[in-house]
Amino acid sequence: MRKTASTTVPVHPLLAERWSPRGFDRAHDLDEEALTALLEAARWAPSAQNSQPWRFLVTRRGEQAHDQLLATLAPGNQAWAGAASALVLVAARTAGDDGRPQPWALYDTGQAVAALVTQAQADELSVHQMGGFDTAAVRAGFGLAAALTPVVVLAIGRRDSSGLPGPLAAREAAPRTRHPVSDLLLPARTVREPAAA
């Protein structure tokens, strides 16, 4: 199934063709080289002061940790995400060694995930990001350090919508939509300070 983005001018096919499936191929395994390519793409993302605050907890289907991470997902996500070859918890190091907040850590981690997702698309893999998970259960269950903030769980694998039950199959086939570019633009209006008395 293709769900190509409708754009007013062409954009790179890696961006236009990416979408977030719920159907994954249970027969597909993510081998070490494929996983390493995704992590390398994330690793080379830019970050504030090259702080590289992203961290990844990788679990593969069949491992106990995959089941454990799956169990922390919201029920609506648990319904389909178990078929993914890998479930990856993404965390951001939001506090430095001195305990001070790292204000760009979440932004940087999102950029790293964007790079990972684009590499996956190039490698004919799909990624579905999920914010619907229990952060407290993840923290406790995987013993995350206090400086780490769980951000998102990634379902990674090879797309296959054929086994999805009715309601999920309908969502899978639904068209992708976006706001028009014009809605994203803020007016470049200059606000004048009142003259000093």
Ligand X SMILES: Cc1cc2nc3c(=O)[nH]c(=O)nc-3n(C[C@H](O)[C@H](O)[C@H](O)COP(=O)(O)O)c2cc1C
- Size (the chain), residues: 197
Q: Which residue is at the shortest CB distance from ligand X?
A: 132
Rule CB under 6 A: is residue 106 a binding residue for ligand X?
no
Question: CA-to-CA distance for 65 and 48, rounded, in angstroms?
Answer: 31
Closest CB 117 distance from ligand X, rounded Å: 9
Question: CA-to-CA distance for 102 and 150, rounded, in angstroms?
Answer: 14
Residue whose C-alpha is closest to residue 31's, from 162, 139, 123 = 123
Closest CB 73 distance from ligand X, rounded Å: 8
Q: Within the chain, what is the greatest distance between any pair of CA atoms?
A: 75
Give every strand in the sheet of 126-130, ordered side by side: 54-60, 86-93, 148-157, 126-130
Rule CB under 6 A: is residue 65 a binding residue for ligand X?
no
Identity of residue 144 = L
Query: Which x/- pattern over 163-182 shows residues binding ligand X (rule: CB under 6 A)?
Result: -------------x------
Rule CB under 6 A: is residue 16 a binding residue for ligand X?
no
Instruction: Specify whether the CB–CB gap between 108 and 9 falls below 8 A.
Output: no
Rule CB under 6 A: is residue 20 a binding residue for ligand X?
yes
Decide whether 33 or 183 has the Cβ nearer to ligand X: 183
Rule CB under 6 A: is residue 13 a binding residue for ligand X?
no
The residue from 37, 45, 57, 130 that contacts ligand X (CB under 6 A) is: 130
The residue from 129, 150, 156, 172 that contacts ligand X (CB under 6 A) is: 129
Residue whose C-alpha is closest to residue 159's, from 182, 127, 183, 185 = 127
Rule CB under 6 A: is residue 109 a binding residue for ligand X?
no
Instruction: Specify whether the CB–CB gap between 1 and 173 falls below 8 A.
Output: yes
Rule CB under 6 A: is residue 161 a binding residue for ligand X?
no
Count other Cβ atoms within 10 Å, centred on residue 177: 7
Decide whether 77 or 102 has the Cβ nearer to ligand X: 77
Rule CB under 6 A: is residue 12 a binding residue for ligand X?
no
Decide whether 101 or 178 has the Cβ nearer to ligand X: 178
Contact residues for ligand X, defined by CB under 6 A: 19-20, 77, 129-132, 152, 176
